[in-house]
Structure 1
Amino acid sequence: MNLPDTILLDIFSYIPLPERWLVASVCKQWYGVCHDPYLYRHVQLDNLEYRTLVLALHKLVGVASRVKSITINGCYSRFIQDTIVPVHFSNRAHNTGPMLFSHLTALQPHRRRDEYLKHNFDLHDEFSNMFTQLLCNNSTTLTSLTVQNCSLDLEMTELFCSIACHAHALESFTYKDNHDKGIHSSGLLQAIVTACPRMRHFHGSHSGMDDAVLLTISRHWVSLESLTLCSLKSRDVLNHAEFISEGRQLTGSSPAGRVSGHALWQLLEKCPKLECLELYDLACISNRELAAFNALQAMAMRENERQQQEQTSRDPAASVPVKRFTPYDIPKSIFTNKRRNTALRTIPGSSIRQLTITKYVTTPLSKPGFESLLKLFPRLNRLQYETNFQTFDNLFEVITRDMFDAECLAVKEWCDERKDQLEYIGRWNADITAEQRLMAGMASVSEGA
């Protein structure tokens, strides 16, 4: 007995791609159901090898025209994962001296591109073509895009350019843990911000984030609800050191402080719906900067009080209670004079409910900093803070383990006193990061010199 198409649609929705298309050959009815665009409103591509992923995208281009969300999770390339290439120094002949080898993904972009051409690896171009076409076909319906836990070297594709050109209805974008630096171009980030004005959730550690991008976000994403900010190649951005093309230099960190306190304050001021913030190793989050934020917040509150007093003085009737029965007394000027917009501004920081802060290579917070945090975010419900002893040891000369433990305990006790209104998750003994090891090695070399 044949099942109705509606029942088959529900059953086939649980079959992962691309196995779903294998059942299409069973009969004509199943073929029709498997090619129904309704079945591809939410596309989930999990744990696919690069070639299989490209073939799945090619199939989706032909059948999916009402896509609302796309999730690419855990996809990988065996070639990219396993390829080791020789690295030659420019100051010596290639056939002399010891030969060095490097993993393919550790090379600079132009060197990786040369290696892909040498090995006839063209999946990046095929991915770009299929993904761009898929976004173009669903430019008015696609609202959510997630790419995470992938090892595909997506920096070689046109993924981000396709988003800027065709994903104008996007409301949620997550790009994280893909073994790269995220969107490393400030200009490309700005292009995405201006092209996607409906964005509400934007997550991912992008090394191109700076003041210019953040100010653009403040102007265009007025409905923003959650945001991830990272201006450093911390553990969440780069899990290994990067070997520069000819082997001359080893780098592991980008310039600190690319996101200033001024830009962060503009974000809090211009995005009144912002509820969730993830701040990874921002130099502008320190005891001193937070105290400055408190002063700006106090000024904003005084300005609101002044506007409220002016509004009351202009309209004395507003402070007089209205009686239940009053005669109709409509002033003649009500039809000729328009009342000025006297709505009070939202106090910056008052909308934040969840906050995540990590400190590994920038100045960590102490108890006064946490006190300033709660003043800046008075409605904060959940605070997660992550650091380790190496952070304090690298940035302060006289710090000891006992002093570090005492500070950790003082912050915990202070937060426990407010546990009815604040959920505090403190990880003060997180593992040392690769960047911290690199910084410690550089410091030891300079001291030895």
Structure 2
Amino acid sequence: MFPNPILQEIFSYLSFPDRLRACRVSRKWYYNCTDPYLYQHIILKDLEFNTLLLAMQRVVSIGPRVRTLTIQGCYSDFIQNTVVPVQFSNQPPNRPLLFSHIRALQPARRRQEYLKHGFELHNHFSDTFSKLLELTQQTLHTIKILNCDLDFEMTELFCTIACNAHSLSTFHYVNNGDKGLHSSGLLQAIVSGSPKMRHFRGLHAGMNDAVLMTMARHWPLLESLTLCSIKSKDVLELTGLINEDGHELRGASPMGTISNRAFWELLCKCKSLTTLEVHDLACVTNRDLALYNSLRDTIHQKSSNRRQPLATTTTTVNLKHHHPYHLHHPLQKKRTTTTTTDLPGSSLRNLRVTKYITTPLSTPGFYDLLRLFPNLTRFEYATNFHTFNNQFEGVTPDMYEAERLAIANFMNSHSLVYEEQWNEPITTEQRLMAGMTTRSDQH
């Protein structure tokens, strides 16, 4: 029989369900399978909802000091297979019933249907997840929830994270069949409650100016970030103007977009930001990028002006007193000044931009983008012809292709990896925009 350290090393390669089954073999195996050392980095992958809950409850009973938690590819047979009847108030009594998948219903109606069917796993998940985070709030630094179909909107997942995120430095919530955090207030609570955050990835409907300003204040060490404005519309003419050093920065829009003022504040305060994803932001256009560069040039010019008088004064002092050697005169002390590496945008290395329902970038925008982010090593740009067709009148496929080629030639002349995705499928939002445009034209 192997000694305990070797057994634990073997058990560390088992999946969570296999490890639970191994516990039943003998007392020695049970002792080694439940050693807290094996549960510092927890990966719960491809589990049905019931099995996921059993695994989480098992972790809580063991009581380890968890450092990373990954929930990936988990699903619920009930949620995937349940359809419910949908009735309308004006529907004739003899008309056949319509049915809808339960995930397609609004949150309030979904809760009613879950209650009607006696489906309580969301409540059990909330209780178990809360116990797990309370147990590990001093050690847990990474949470990743990826590619799950569990309808987390029905749980208290985000509230629990907001209350126990003191040590959290990485939070990924990606591709879970929803729009992430809908509440901007709860999103702000997570931001202010996790001062050590470095990596925040995922699309959240509650993202707005207030959240972005809070990030700029509380996350100076931020390294990677995903930004989206799911309610985003190109409504710049509706926003209020705010002047800053003679430049026009637009304030928060009533439609819930992220303004260029908030985006610029983030670039100014988060000097460690190296990876950024921006999805359909109305504040990333040709005009906005030119504005950011103007503000950047102003900061650089002010820094240069502050340094120039210092050199003149130092020379005068040296000549007046005829110092034969270098003396540490108070006026000769080195001062911290802004260099090009300290300018907003200089830290960024990886950038992804998608454009579907907001104004796309054209050639001048790509010039300004490389000026704003001079140290980029990788840039991805995703769009399609429908983006240009919905935004600009008279655009033809040939014109679109010519623009794509011109930008590709320009980007390939620079020392960075450029990934172009100009032929993405049409999105649901684009179909809706095209339908609304057609209807308004008919009127």
TM-score normalised by length of structure 2: 0.89
Aligned to 1:111: 109
Aligned to 1:429: 423
Identify the structure with bigger relative contact order (alpha carbons < 8 Å, sequence gap 6+): 1
Amino acid at match of 1:442: M
Aligned to 1:417: 413
How far residue 255 of structure 1 moved from its aligned partner, in angstroms, is 8.1
How far residue 100 of structure 1 moved from its aligned partner, in angstroms, is 2.2
Structure-2 separation of matches of 1:269 and 1:373: 16
Aligned to 1:445: 439
- Mapping of residues 296-307 of structure 1, within 5 Å: 296-307=295-306
Aligned to 1:350: 346
Tell me, what secondary structure is at the counterpart of 2:16?
Answer: coil
Post-superposition Cα deviations, 1:75-123, rounded to whole Å, max 9, x if no partner, equal 0011111111112223446x35342221111111110000011000000
> Which of 186, 189, 193 is residue 187 of structure 2 equivalent to?
189
Contact kept, 8 Å, 1:136 with 1:166, in 2: the verdict is yes
How far residue 319 of structure 1 moved from its aligned partner, in angstroms, is 11
Tell me, what secondary structure is at the counterpart of 1:356?
Answer: strand
Aligned to 1:394: 390
Q: Across the two proteins, how many residue pairs are aligned to each other?
A: 417
Runs of 4+ with >4 A deviation: 254-257, 313-320, 326-331
Structure-1 separation of matches of 2:41 and 2:257: 36
Structure-2 separation of matches of 1:216 and 1:314: 41
Structure-2 separation of matches of 1:378 and 1:105: 44
Structure-2 separation of matches of 1:287 and 1:131: 44
TM-score normalised by length of structure 1: 0.88
Q: Is 1:56 the counterpart of 2:52 in the alignment?
A: no
Contact kept, 8 Å, 1:311 with 1:342, in 2: the verdict is no
Aligned to 2:227: 229
Tell me, what secondary structure is at the counterpart of 1:132?
Answer: helix
Amino acid at match of 1:393: N
Tell me, what secondary structure is at the counterpart of 1:18?
Answer: helix
Structure-2 separation of matches of 1:424 and 1:23: 48
Structure-1 separation of matches of 2:5 and 2:278: 45
How far residue 19 of structure 1 moved from its aligned partner, in angstroms, is 1.6
How far residue 13 of structure 1 moved from its aligned partner, in angstroms, is 1.0
Aligned to 1:248: none
How far residue 41 of structure 1 moved from its aligned partner, in angstroms, is 0.7
How far residue 439 of structure 1 moved from its aligned partner, in angstroms, is 2.1
Aligned to 1:363: 359
Tell me, what secondary structure is at the counterpart of 1:25?
Answer: coil
Contact kept, 8 Å, 2:231 with 2:255, in 1: the verdict is no
Contact kept, 8 Å, 2:231 with 2:256, in 1: the verdict is no
Post-superposition Cα deviations, 1:357-382, rounded to whole Å, max 9, x if no partner, equal 00011110011000000000011111
Structure-2 separation of matches of 1:440 and 1:8: 62
Q: Is 1:198 the counterpart of 2:196 in the alignment?
A: yes
Contact kept, 8 Å, 1:139 with 1:166, in 2: the verdict is yes
Contact kept, 8 Å, 1:257 with 1:283, in 2: the verdict is no
Unaligned runs of 5+ in 2: 233-252
* Percentage identity across paired residues of the two chains: 51
Structure-2 separation of matches of 1:434 and 1:362: 14
Aligned to 2:67: 68
Q: Is 1:80 the counterpart of 2:79 in the alignment?
A: yes
Aligned to 1:279: 278
Amino acid at match of 1:381: T
Structure-2 separation of matches of 1:24 and 1:255: 57
How far residue 311 of structure 1 moved from its aligned partner, in angstroms, is 4.2
Aligned to 2:376: 380
Structure-2 separation of matches of 1:231 and 1:318: 56
How far residue 316 of structure 1 moved from its aligned partner, in angstroms, is 5.0
Unaligned runs of 5+ in 1: 235-253, 321-325
Amino acid at match of 2:71: I
Tell me, what secondary structure is at the counterpart of 1:146?
Answer: strand
How far residue 73 of structure 1 moved from its aligned partner, in angstroms, is 0.4
CA RMSD of aligned residues (A): 2.4
